[in-house]
Structures are given as C-alpha cells and as structure tokens.
Structure 1
Amino acid sequence: MTLDRETIRLAIDTVIDPELRRPLTELDMVDSIDVSPESIRVVIALTIVGCPASDRIHNDVAEAVTKVAGGIPVDVELTVMEPARRAALITRLRGDKSPAQQFGPDTLTRIIAVTSGKGGVGKSTITANLAEAAANSGLRVGVIDADVFGFSQPALFGIEGIKPTRLDDMILPPVAGEVKLMSIGMFVDQGTPVSWRGPMLHRTVNQFLSDVFFGDLDLLFLDLPPGTGDIAISVGQLLPHSEVIVVTTPQAGAADVAVRSGLVARQTGQKVVGVIETMSAGALPDGTVFDLFGSGGGAQVAAALDVPLLGQIPLSVPLRMAGDAGTPLVSHQPDDPAAIALSAAFQALQATRNSRVGTPLPVSPR
C-alpha cells in the first residue's frame, strides 16, 4: 500500500469524536496531513480551547496513523477552530432543524418519560438500567435527568463531576459508556441544593430539549421527579408525543399514588405504555422468597391504567451496590436476577412500540 495523504486520511476516518460520536474527517477537524519518508505530521483542529476530549483525540489519531505508517515517526498537533469554522460545523450538525425542533412531533426518536407517584421507588435506577440495556442492544440512547431537585443520573452512570462541553450556543452532553446524559447536577456544585419555582423549572427542561445537542437518537429517556408537579406538566406540554412508564412498588399505598401520575400524563396528551414494579419479592440465599413490600402493586397500577406490566424487579443487593458504584447492573452483573428482569423489561418496552413502516423520513433529494 502506497503511503500518501489519502492513506493517512482513511486511517483518521476511523477516529470518532468522543462527544459528537462522528468521525473527525466528517466534522472537518483535519487541518493538514504532511507525509515524507522521514515523518508524518497531522494537525487536528479541536472545536474549542480546553476541549475535554483533547488527550483522547490526540492519542486515538496517533494510534490510527501509526498503524499504517510503516515505522515512520508520527507527530500529531492539536489546534483550535476559528469561530467561523466552528459556527459552520454547528450549522451542519443541526441540519435544517432549529434547536427547538430537535425532538419535535416529527422526530424519529422514541421519547420515554419515566415517572412515579412518590419518591424512593427506584425510578432513577430503572431509567439508568433501561437506557443501558438499550445501548447494549446497539441503539443510540440519551438520558435527560429532569428530576431537578433530586438529580441522580450522573452518580448512577459514574460521571459525577463531568461538565458538558459548550460549542457557542450548543451544549454537548457527556457520554457515559454509550449513553449521552444531561443533568442539572452537571451545572451545580456537589452538595448544593436546587430551589427553583415553576417558571425556572420549565425553562430548564426546555433548554435541555433545545440547547443540548444529542444528535440522532433511537431512544431518549427522561427521568422525571416523583409526583404530578411542574416538571411533569412541562414535559407534557413540551413533548405531548412522548410515552410514559409508571414505576411503583408492590405496596397498595404506592400503587394508588402511581396511578395518579399516569392519569396526569394522559391529561397532557402523553401515552402510558406500561408499568414497572420495583422492590418485588426476592430470593434469600437459602431460597426463601421474601416479599418485604408485599405484592400486587404493579399489577394493580397496570390494571387501573389498562397497560401491560412490563416487569417486576426483585430486591437485589447487587442492584443497590451497582447504583452506588456508578455501574448500571445490566452491564456490571448481567446474570443477577434483577439485571435479568431489567433487561426483560426493556424488551417488553420495545414490544410496545408502534410500527414506523410508512413513516416519511426527514430527508430531501439533492
């Protein structure tokens, strides 16, 4: 194989930007390639000064080019795009849609809001593991932590302290494994409480849906706060075409409250697609079945809302430990009974999706 600029460019074409999830060549990040018998020099233009992915991009490019260099020394230099070039990139990324249209009514992204009647039922853990299961199946997945007062998704995915990258007026969500994640917890100091009223909450959710660039997603999960307050109503107004999963425990008291959250979702035009029961009966080491929180709550909610019971997630010490460690159980310990139940719940969720056969694609001939 002849070692020339095209060979080097093809090698760089295999390097994916960690945040934008597209090849560097497609993002116009390759400034120059110089090839001689003595050395190979590649200049890569980062999107911003202080790009958090700079070290990874440098190393990935150096590794890719070295593989085809045939022993010739490789030098990778990083520069930064000038404003006009960065603005052109942002325009290309957004295409012909305004930020507000990213998840509009004609979106091909399936939007799933996960809600509950009360707190402490494991709603955020369910959201994280459903998203992880979806990513493991090869889907492009995003998560918005809309529980502004009790945000927990950064901790559940193990990316606490990671800040989003700003490209002018565009925000790039951090990526945990293969899941793109956005949370108000990325903008406040750890331990700082958030005490906002309705208009500020609505504005925050709206900005997450418009200013944050998720790119092409198959699934977007929203982890809603418990209850039927401002954010639940805002999501219904901003995303009336979204679908809802209701999470409850087996307790009758929790089930009664959970039904109300599903009814509020319907009032705003959303479609309730199923119920997931958490803290269900689990097996002790000696095989004894232990139903600490009783039984029947999930079936009760599903019957009241006339939707399927997507899954019953048993009490599991590994599930709690995985959440504390920031490693979703479906990937960390997939053979645990709770992980098996969570993966099955995701498959049941997929089965509720309406066929998209005949749906027009948002493309036009050139």
Structure 2
Amino acid sequence: MAGRLFPLKLLNYSKAPNLKKMSSDAKDAVLKDKRSKIMARGLPKQTPIEGVKQVLVVASGKGGVGKSTTAVNIALALAANDSTKAVGLLDADVYGPSIPKMMNLKGSPEVTPKNLMRPLVNYGIACMSMGFLIEETAPIVWRGLMVMSAIEKLLRQVDWNHLDYLVIDMPPGTGDVQLSVSQNIPVAGAVIVSTPQDIALLDARRGTEMFRKVNVPVLGLVQNMSIFQCPKCKHETHIFGADGVKNLASDLGLDILGDVPLHVHIRETSDAGKPIVVSQPQSNVAQAYLKIAAEIVKRLPHSPT
C-alpha cells in the first residue's frame, strides 16, 4: 500500500493481553509494567567513574541555603574522620562555580598523556570545577546541551586516580544536571541541604522526591542556618524558623544528619578559602560537620574497602 510507514508484520497483537477481559487491578498492573519497560529502554546505562568507589551528591532544591559550603566541609570532614580515605570534590554548578574560591585554588588543570585533566589539590582534597577552565569573572552563557557536555567532561575526562569518595556539589534545582548525573553514574547517596524556612523546605521536598524517582538513595537532610547565637549576649534566635527541616524529614521518613548554626565564622572561613573544618577543627561548627560526615558514612549502601 502506497504511503505505508512500516510493514504490517511488525504490528503483532497476537501476544498482547486483552485488557477488556481483565479486572481493574490486573489492568493497572499490566499498564504499569508496560510503562516501566518503555522507561527502562529510554534510560542511559549507568557507568561508574573510573577510579571512584562511591559518589555522594550534595543537593538542594533552592539556592542560597549553604549547599556549596556544606559540600566543601563534608568532603573535608570525610577525610578528617578517616585519614585512610581519599576524597575528591566535583563542582557541578557550571553557571556559578564556587569551589575554587572556597578551596583556595587557582589555575588550569594539567593534562595527562591520556588527555585527562588532573584535579587541583588543596587540604588533601582533589578538586575539579568549571571555574578552573574559565576566567574568574567570565560569565558562562550556554544552552543546556553545552552544559551537559561540560558535565560529561568533568565526570569522564578527569584523572581522579583512586578515590574512596567523590563528593559532587550539585547546582540548585531539579534540572538537566541532576538528571544527567543521576542517570549516567551510580550514585551511592544524596544529601539534601535546607534552611528551616518554609520556602526552602518546599524546594527541599521537590529535590528529595526527584532523587527518589531516579532511584538515588536519599541518605538524609542537613538543617543549615538552624540557629543564631548573638556573640555578645549569647541570646539564641531562630532567624529562619525552628525545626522546619526536622519536621520535613519526619514527614518524608528520612533522618536528620545534623544541624549547622548560622555563624559568622562559617562565612568568613569560606570566603577566605580556609573552610572551617580545617581552619578551626575544634570549633563547635566544625564538629557539626564532622558528625554529619560520620552519619553519612553509616548510611552508605556499601562502605569502601
């Protein structure tokens, strides 16, 4: 027949279930199974990053909640808690890379004979960021496909050597980068960072549900900027609300990995490129990050050996 797009023999309905004769529950089960098979065919195959044992993503649904600061200090805390573990830090925020400043790193990565970029290292942490590849003040005006290509290069074209943990500082939101990372590499777990503020909690919930939909284990939540203590009178104030993240965690059936106060030393040390875990390791704030890192390791599916 003229204009036929495909041969009729491809349309074989002989083995298709007769939905009309099925009960409602059985019909739903068949349709659900069919949808799952279609989705599975469309998903990319997950391939581990060479040399990396476990990948941990630190995310938030909303910007401005201290996610990058948390990611940096978690990476440092993982190394501080166990000096036998090698830790790396990947800045996946292509549009707003902040890891170079927080980790006090500048310069371009060297390239190996295999044409792989060597991470820059400070405080014992191997770091990679788009900020190493562009001028500090240069804006990145890219469409989605270019961003995805950059993320692929940051994941696959880096000589990570041998890492026990690679901490990925994700960009805010639930967009292309989150999906690309989650679907292309095996992720051991996600940590969601939020302030107790209601607006931040709405996005933290969305971020959690996104990771659950792509089958990434959510290890727990970090309640950031939970309380402010006046340095003069020691009066404590819940500027962004009290226990909002704890209530959200309870609602989602997740654990609170720890509370981090709103403290000027966190901001000062981050801006100076001397994260508080390494510059003030005995402080209460640094101890909070060390505790969070320990709680993360407890919840990872398989501990590196």
Aligned to 2:146: 200
User: How big is the shift at 1:304?
Assistant: 3.3
Aligned to 1:237: 183
Correspondence 1:321 to 2:268: yes
What SS does the aligned partner of 1:258 have? helix
Please give the residue correspondences for 1:201-280 in structure 2 after superposition, counting only pairs within 5 Å: 201-280=147-226
Which structure is higher in RCO with an 8 Å CA cutoff and minimum separation 6?
Answer: 2
Q: Distance in 1 between matches of 2:208 and 2:214?
A: 10
2:59 maps to which of 115, 121, 127: 115
The letter for the 2-side match of 1:350 is V
Kept after mapping to 2: 8 A contact 1:251/1:296: no
Please give the residue correspondences for 1:170-181 in structure 2 after superposition, counting only pairs within 5 Å: 170-181=116-127
The letter for the 1-side match of 2:234 is G
- Map Cα deviations across residues 308-364 of structure 1 (whole Å, 9 max, x no partner): 10011001111110001001101101232221211111111111123459xxx9xxx
Q: Distance in 1 between matches of 2:244 and 2:144?
A: 31
Q: Where in structure 2 are there 5+ consecutive unaligned residues?
A: 1-45
What SS does the aligned partner of 2:225 have? strand
Please give the residue correspondences for 1:18-33 in structure 2 after superposition, counting only pairs within 5 Å: none
User: How big is the shift at 1:199?
Assistant: 1.4
Kept after mapping to 2: 8 A contact 1:166/1:172: yes
What SS does the aligned partner of 1:226 have? coil
1:125 maps to which of 66, 69, 73: 69
Aligned to 1:164: 109
Q: Distance in 2 between matches of 1:337 and 1:293?
A: 20
What SS does the aligned partner of 2:117 have? strand
Which has the larger share of strand? 1
The letter for the 1-side match of 2:183 is Q
Could you say if the C-alpha distance between residues 188 and 181 of structure 1 is closer, same or farther in structure 2, counting changes exceeding 3 Å? same
What SS does the aligned partner of 1:170 have? coil
Could you say if the C-alpha distance between residues 196 and 305 of structure 1 is closer, same or farther in structure 2, counting changes exceeding 3 Å? farther
The letter for the 1-side match of 2:140 is V
Aligned to 1:61: none
**Equivalent residues, number:** 256
The letter for the 1-side match of 2:54 is R
Q: Distance in 1 between matches of 2:288 and 2:258?
A: 6
Q: TM-score, normalised by structure 2?
A: 0.80
User: How big is the shift at 1:241?
Assistant: 3.4
Could you say if the C-alpha distance between residues 304 and 240 of structure 1 is closer, same or farther in structure 2, counting changes exceeding 3 Å? farther
Kept after mapping to 2: 8 A contact 1:256/1:301: no
Aligned to 1:353: 300
Q: Distance in 2 between matches of 1:198 and 1:242?
A: 26
